[in-house]
Amino acid sequence: MVLKKRSILPGFGMTLGFTVSYLCLIVLIPLSATFLKAATLTWPRFWHVISDPRAVASYRITFGASLIAALINLVFGLLVAWVLVRYTFPGRRLIDSLVDLPFALPTAVAGIALTAIYSSHGWVGQYLAMMGIKAAYSQLGIVIALTFIGLPFVVRTVQPVLEDLDRDMEEAAASLGANRLQVFTKVILPSIWPAALTGFTMAFARAIGEYGSVVFISGNMPMKTEITPLLIITKLDQYDYAGATAIAVVMLVVSFVMLLAINLLQKWSSKAQRAQSSSGSAPLGLDLEPIYGSTAN
Amino acid sequence: MAYRFWRVHAAKANFMGGAIALNPRAATLTASASSRATLESAAVRWTLIAVASLFLALFLFMPLAMVFVSAFSKGIHAYLASFREPDAQAAIRLTLLTAGIAVPLNLLFGVAAAWCIAKFEFIGKSLLITLIDVPFSVSPVVSGLIYVLMFGLQGAMGPWLVAHDIKIIFAVPGIVLATIFVTFPFVARELIPLIQAQGNDEEEAALTLGASGWQTFLRVTLPNVKWGLLYGVIICNARAMGEFGAVSVVSGHVRGLTNTMPLHIEILYNEYQFVPAFAVASLLALLALLTLVIKSFVEWQSKRQLTEDAENWSMETA
């Protein structure tokens, strides 16, 4: 059996050896230590910790707020990507480079800034307060923070696909009598959908684990605005290592499922894009094949 | 750079250029029809731009502006006084030290991982790529916790560490480890696609001409990916300096000793010392802005390189 294809390039053994050892030391061994620690809990005890009403409430808040934030980012991410790719307007390049800000800005900085804006005396919070909406120190605050940290994902996954999109298809649809909305829903949306869904899942996965930006704005009330990562910290502060580990294992399992989902989505997305660009680059070949096929019958 | 990619696209452009030259009347017809058929009315366009801008203003520009407005709300003297605090200086020093250890180690790892993954085909490669991504998907709090469970008092190695008087958790080594974990994939993720797009042809040519492995890497591979590498290092650094959740779990929050800048911000904020909190935050926000500027520069550079390559190619074929 051949483990590796032959190549004249040197350094395979050295770099792979270093990569794998470093990966084991930093990531794999500490992660497996966590699962070993969790295995010292008996099953009923483990179940008791992870199904505790306070824990379940924290899952509901974490997943609910992450889902809403990811949906907001799906809608507005598509809009922002569209505007950046298709239109020219003053400030476009500035916006384009600032979209990545949530990747680069520390979460704690984002947290205190968002809290200051959406608290009842803040720039936006005071107007929301007048309407009777409490933004900071509520579940809405959690959604706001998670929307901020997930903002770049959908924009950055959809943008390149939209840039590569062949306008010929849109022209064809228009010349066949489709209006602009029909062209968007029937031609453009199916092409960018895999990428948009990938971005949505990434934003959702990122939001589930988020801690830094949320703790400042959420108010951290058990059962109401306590997210799961915060519950882990609370248990650690009470020296309840077993409880913290049990909840952490739940979060790790969710992370791995999300990672798997993102990988599959990315494969689907790039396959969809390849199929599209190959049909675009061979205008005389591939596109006519179905027609020949049907006439042959 | 991305030579193969351009070969395909340049060929396509030539093909289409030829068609237009043959039938100029048809070309102009399509051009005017296409702009009308594939563009929305001005009202729709400007509404969409306005809604997108409003969304970005609420979620991007305002938080950024808030940091600086709050930091300078009591004037420049109060702002500068925030950095004369010994605790603030200790936090800045610890953050620099942490990034100074974590970033070079992850750079080394990223280059090694990118070399073996992008240049060779081997069994288990996609598993390795997935495992490198794991720290991205793990919650920062859990990232910190796994080191507590490993090196803490109750942890797997706890008793041994106590016996040898080594302190990792609630001390600087734990902070460095957690930071390495969280910023682990950045350089590798940035480099792997770049080196992969490069192909092996140039390196193989250099080796056949008698260059050593190191010479090939330093003179052929590295110059081709230098801008991507720079961005990988910069974003890794920004995340290392700004990490909050993971570091918060392992630090123990000892003022002046185990507080990094983000942890120091948290303490100041919880004590209602808003000006100093936002002043320290403004340094990290500046770092984030610098990171974005370098990213734009890197993108501009690689685009330029791409066009140059395409020009060289068309000159060669002409």
Asked if the structure places residue B192 within a domain, the reply is yes
Residues of B (81-120) whose Cβ lies below 8 Å from A: 108-109, 112-113, 115-117, 119-120
Domain holding B134: CATH number?
Answer: 1.10.3720.10
The model's confidence at residue B306, banded by pLDDT at 50, 70 and 90, is: confident
pTM over 0.90: no
Query: What mean pLDDT do residues A246-266 have?
Result: 92
Domain holding A223: CATH number?
Answer: 1.10.3720.10
Asked if the structure places residue A32 within a domain, the reply is no
Query: What mean pLDDT do residues B56-64 have?
Result: 95
pLDDT of residue B187: 96
Asked if the structure places residue A37 within a domain, the reply is no
Q: Determine whether the interchain pair B142/A248 forms a contact, defined as Cβ–Cβ distance below 8 Å.
A: yes
Question: How many domains does one find in chain A?
Answer: 1
Asked if the structure places residue B7 within a domain, the reply is no
The model's confidence at residue B318, banded by pLDDT at 50, 70 and 90, is: low
pLDDT of residue A278: 57
**Predicted confidence (pLDDT) per residue in B94-124, tens digit:** 999 999 999 999 999 999 999 999 999 999 9
**Predicted confidence (pLDDT) per residue in A178-189, tens digit:** 888 888 998 899
Question: How many domains does one find in chain B?
Answer: 1
Contacts of A5 in chain B (CB under 8 A): 120-122
CB-closest option in A89, A104, A113 to B66 = A113
Residues of A (207-246) whose Cβ lies below 8 Å from B: 208-212, 216, 229-230, 232-233, 236, 241, 244-245
Say whether pLDDT at B79 is over 70: yes
Query: What mean pLDDT do residues A168-194 have?
Result: 89
Q: Does B202 touch chain A (CB under 8 A)?
A: no
Query: What mean pLDDT do residues B192-212 have?
Result: 91
Query: What mean pLDDT do residues A42-52 have?
Result: 93
Query: What mean pLDDT do residues B165-169 have?
Result: 90
Instruction: Quote the CA–CA distance of B187 and B111 in Å, as a whole number.
Output: 7
Asked if the structure places residue B38 within a domain, the reply is no
Asked if the structure places residue B241 within a domain, the reply is yes
Q: Determine whether the interchain pair B281/A108 forms a contact, defined as Cβ–Cβ distance below 8 Å.
A: yes
Q: Determine whether the interchain pair B58/A124 forms a contact, defined as Cβ–Cβ distance below 8 Å.
A: yes
Mean pLDDT of chain B: 86
The model's confidence at residue B313, banded by pLDDT at 50, 70 and 90, is: confident
Asked if the structure places residue A2 within a domain, the reply is no
Q: Determine whether the interchain pair B66/A116 forms a contact, defined as Cβ–Cβ distance below 8 Å.
A: yes
**Predicted confidence (pLDDT) per residue in A108-136, tens digit:** 999 999 999 999 999 999 999 999 999 99
Q: 3-state SS of A252-278?
A: HHHHHHHHHHHHHHHHHHHHHHHHHHH
Contacts of A79 in chain B (CB under 8 A): 48, 51-52, 55
pLDDT of residue B91: 95
What DSSP string describes chain B?
A: --HHHHHHHHHHHHHHHHHHHH-HHHHHHHHHHHHHHTS--HHHHHHHHHHHHHHHIIIIIHHHHHHHHHHTTTHHHHHHHGGGSHHHHHHHHHHHHHHHHHHHHHHHHHHHHHHHHHH--BTTHHHHHHHHHHHHHS-HHHHHHHHHHHHSTTSTTHHHHHHTT---TTSHHHHHHHHHHHTTTHHHHHHHHHHHHH-SHHHHHHHHTT--HHHHIIIIIHHHHHHHHHHHHHHHHHHHHH--HHHHHHH---TTTT--HHHHHHHHHHTT-HHHHHHHHHHHHHHHHHHHHHHHHHHHHHHHHHHHHHHHHHHHH-
Asked if the structure places residue B2 within a domain, the reply is no
Q: Does A103 touch chain B (CB under 8 A)?
A: yes
pLDDT of residue B24: 40
Asked if the structure places residue B78 within a domain, the reply is yes
In angstroms, the separation between the Cα of residue A140 and the nearest Cα of chain B is 14
Q: What percent of chain B has pLDDT over 70?
A: 87
- Print the domain residue range for B199: 72-317
Say whether pLDDT at B77 is over 80: yes
Query: What mean pLDDT do residues A257-284 have?
Result: 74
The model's confidence at residue B270, banded by pLDDT at 50, 70 and 90, is: very high
Are the CB atoms for B260 and B94 separated by under 8 Å?
yes
- Using alpha carbons only, how large is chain B's radius of gyration in Å? 26
pLDDT of residue B3: 35
Minimal Cα distance from B126: which residue of A? A263
User: Which has the higher per-residue pLDDT, B200 or A282?
Assistant: B200
Say whether pLDDT at B38 is over 90: no
Residues of B (120-159) whose Cβ lies below 8 Å from A: 120-123, 128, 130-142, 145-150, 152, 154-156
pLDDT of residue B28: 40
Asked if the structure places residue A289 within a domain, the reply is no
Q: What is the interface size between A and B, counted as CB pairs within 8 Å?
A: 297
Instruction: Quote the CA–CA distance of A11 and B215 in Å, as a whole number.
Output: 12
Asked if the structure places residue B10 within a domain, the reply is no
pLDDT of residue B37: 63
Say whether pLDDT at B10 is over 70: no
Asked if the structure places residue B57 within a domain, the reply is no
- Print the domain residue range for A156: 43-276
Q: What is the DSSP letter of A247?
A: H
pLDDT of residue A291: 33
User: Which has the higher per-residue pLDDT, A2 or A39?
Assistant: A39
ipTM comes to 0.87
Asked if the structure places residue A219 within a domain, the reply is yes
Say whether pLDDT at B254 is over 90: no
Say whether pLDDT at B45 is over 60: yes
